[in-house]
Structure 1
Amino acid sequence: MRIGELSRRTRIPVRMLRYYEERGLLAPQRTPSGYRRYAEADVGRATLVSSLIRSGLPTRLILPLLQDDRAAPASGDEEDADEGELVALFTAELARLDSRIACMSLSRDAVRRHLRLRTDH
């Protein structure tokens, strides 16, 4: 499918899909005339990327999440340091997401209570 169809199916603007490609989050094939061609699996991938970005996850952390066939890290010191840094970043991000979820849950509960008070009359 072409970028316009992917945009319609995912409700993600074409400009954002191009941005995802620039960041390495989507990798469409190219036709001989240069048009992007997306696979059916790109619908789910683009939707996941959009969701992760909306939740505040930085794109530098999204790419490792998307790498399904990632090789096990080598045992060299530099690779271990990179992996350790990545683990620290993901740990901090998980704590941030947990905090946002807790805050949003409190807000949801307050709105729910408010609605219940207004509709129980």
Structure 2
Amino acid sequence: MRIGELGRRAGVSTRALRHYEELGLLPARRRANGYRDYDERDLRVVAEIRSLVDLGFALEETRPFVECLRAGHATGASCPDSRAVQRRKVAEVDDWITRLHAVRDQLVAQLGEAPEPRCAVTPHDT
């Protein structure tokens, strides 16, 4: 399939696909006419990349997953390098959660210390 079809089927722009190619995440085969040529395996790789990016992975962090898929594994998370990246990402998310809880606690404390605002509008008797 050509780049436009891959983009439509994967739900990404052709510009993104070219960027993946520049990074070495999506090697393109070329037809005799110079057009890029992709297959179902490439669609699977792009879906894996998008799924990981949607979870907050940087493009470079997807490389072990892509390599795992290209090596013939059923999932991109089947290989030790992928699992190591996943563990680092879990630790990163845990750190974000800790920091967010601290920010939340600070905001709640500030709300508790602030005087209750007075209502500027007086109710009308009907």
How would you bin the TM-score normalised by the shorter chain?
Answer: 0.5 to 0.7
**Larger Rg computed on CA atoms:** 2
**Would you say 1:2 and 2:8 are equivalent positions?**
no
TM-aligned CA deviation for residue 92 of structure 1: 2.7
Instruction: Tell me, in whole angstroms, the C-alpha distance in 1 between the residues paired with 2:3 and 2:96.
Output: 33
Match of 1:50 in 2: 50
Paired residue secondary structure (1:61): helix
Q: Tell me how far apart the structure 2 counterparts of residues 17 and 95 of structure 1 sit (CA, whole Å).
A: 29
Unaligned runs of 5+ in 1: 71-86, 104-121
TM-score of the aligned structures, taking structure 1 as reference length? 0.59
- Conserved 8 A contact 1:61-1:90: no
**Residue 91 of structure 2: which of 84, 88, 95 is its match?**
95
Structure 2 gaps of 5+ residues are: 73-83, 101-126
Give matches, 1:1-121, under 5 Å. Answer: 1-68=1-68, 69=71, 87=84, 90-97=86-93
Q: Is the 8 A contact 2:48 2:65 kept in 1?
A: no
Residues 53 and 33 of structure 1, relative CA distance in 2, 3 Å threshold: same
Q: Percent identity?
A: 36
Query: TM-score, length-normalised on structure 2?
Result: 0.57
Larger RCO, structures 1/2 (Cα 8 Å, 6+ apart):
1
Superposed CA RMSD in Å reads: 3.0
More helix by share: 1
